[in-house]
Amino acid sequence: MSKHVVIIGNGIAGVTAARFIRKLSDYRITMISAETDHFYARTALMYIYMGHLRYEDTKPYADGFWQQNGIDLVRGYVTTIDTEARAVHVGGGRAIGYDVLVIATGSQSNKFGWPGQDLDAVQGLYGIPDLATMERWTAGIDRAVVIGGGLIGIEMAEMLHTRHIPVTFLVREQGYMDYLLPPEESAMINAEIRDHHIDLRLATELKEIRPDDQGRARAVVTNTGEEIPCQFVGLTVGVHPNIDVVKPSNVETNRGVLVNEFFETSVPGVYAIGDCAEFRRDGIGIRRIEQLWYTGRHHGKTVAQTICGRRAAYDRGVFFNSAKFFTVEYQTYGDIKPKPEDGTETIFWQDEAAKKLVRINYAADDGRVLGFNLLGIRFRQDVCERWILERRSTDYVLKHLRQANFDPEFYHSFKITDFENRTRP
């Protein structure tokens, strides 16, 4: 009889695993998830609130896709994983047996024990239920405060801004995302945030959130003692692996579910992928816990091969990420650190209006390209990745930069000779 694979979580990691197991086998597949009936693009949450997309538009597959591909969907919360009996319990009752279990339970928003963090109108942004509460708490308000200078914080600031809600944005660091971005990139995004009339407060931390007499947030107090009146607080201070259901089981966990490069956990036949997985050692992924859309997809595709008898170790490939900070698009490929490292040199170009930026890092010894940072300009991912993998020299890259260009408008405003003349070290 064919194996039964049960997957907990229908996010990008879980659905990719399901799709590739289906391509490679006739195994019975059941996907159990609590949040929504069908897979949707979590990265598009902001556009639903902003009115650019309806929830329906964020579903990459038609609802009939799953049935057509023999993937059973169960809507429910898994309360117990019983690895002895090889079964999971849904909603505290119904048991579903498995031969192979894939844990793909994603992340949860962080809270760090601040006074007032559980008041009404204080929330993070992770899933569909958060959009509903955000709708409710932001209706007709005078000011919102968003706390936490990461990708979700800036998205929330933009979401509120599009509804004409004045936003104060508290960022603990000296510059937006300066823990990941070099100073020039961070400065460009600081300016972009302020250009959108967001009251950006750098080097400012939350101390407490004060309630009104109904138990709703009425003000935020910062570490400088300032009280900022507001009726909504976005608490976007990162995420952590959502492993509530795994902790009481005998699957070994640390911050996430511990896995090797094959996504195998401490229990045979049980795998973990996506945001909830933690590599046992450095050097397998970008970090021990990878909380990105594309890495989740890559985990799902890789684990499917192992489950289907084509044992495959995770190969993270060249790091890349992309985001949009208000109007500025950001792409990064390869290895770009916030501070220059020994043995690394930089070629840097920025336009006069400080709206476009290109940074190319390369090895000082042989000139091979190590990474790209791009703001306001898009380069082709396949080309940048290939150049890094092929250890192409900066001379080669500058000569062939046109191959990477994605944006037809770019070459109207940008002359490659300017770039070379200005930036040659």
Ligand X SMILES: Cc1cc2nc3c(=O)[nH]c(=O)nc-3n(C[C@H](O)[C@H](O)[C@H](O)COP(=O)(O)OP(=O)(O)OC[C@H]3O[C@@H](n4cnc5c(N)ncnc54)[C@H](O)[C@@H]3O)c2cc1C
- Which residues are near ligand X by CB under 6 A? 8-9, 11-14, 32-35, 42-43, 45, 77-78, 104-107, 125-126, 151-152, 155, 242, 245, 274-275, 291-294, 296, 321, 323
Q: Which is nearer to ligand X, 291 or 331 (CB)?
A: 291
Contacts of 82 (CB under 8 A, 6+ apart): 88, 89, 95, 249
Helix-helix angle 183-195:151-162, to 10 degrees: 20
Q: How far is the CB of 25 from ligand X (least distance, A)?
A: 21
Cα separation of 376 and 358, whole Å?
A: 9
- Sheet of 320-325: strands edge to edge? 320-325, 328-334, 369-375, 357-363, 344-350
Q: Which is nearer to ligand X, 290 or 401 (CB)?
A: 290
Helix-helix angle 293-307:12-24, to 10 degrees: 30
Q: Which is nearer to ligand X, 245 or 251 (CB)?
A: 245
Q: How far is the CB of 250 from ligand X (least distance, A)?
A: 16
Q: Which is nearer to ligand X, 149 or 218 (CB)?
A: 149
Q: Which is nearer to ligand X, 9 or 116 (CB)?
A: 9
* Position closest to ligand X via CB: 106
Query: Smallest Cα–Cα separation from 384: which of 312, 309, 333?
Result: 333
Q: How far is the CB of 43 from ligand X (least distance, A)?
A: 4
What is the C-alpha R_g of the chain?
Answer: 23
Three-state SS sequence of 70-104: CEEEEECCEEEEECCCCEEEECCCCEEECCEEEEC
- Sheet of 95-97: strands edge to edge? 78-82, 87-90, 95-97
Query: Smallest Cα–Cα separation from 15: which of 104, 78, 79, 75?
Result: 104
Q: Which is nearer to ligand X, 116 or 234 (CB)?
A: 234
Cα separation of 187 and 80, whole Å?
A: 47
Q: How far is the CB of 7 from ligand X (least distance, A)?
A: 9
Q: How far is the CB of 228 from ligand X (least distance, A)?
A: 23
Q: Which is nearer to ligand X, 106 or 371 (CB)?
A: 106
Tokens standing for residue 416: 């490659």
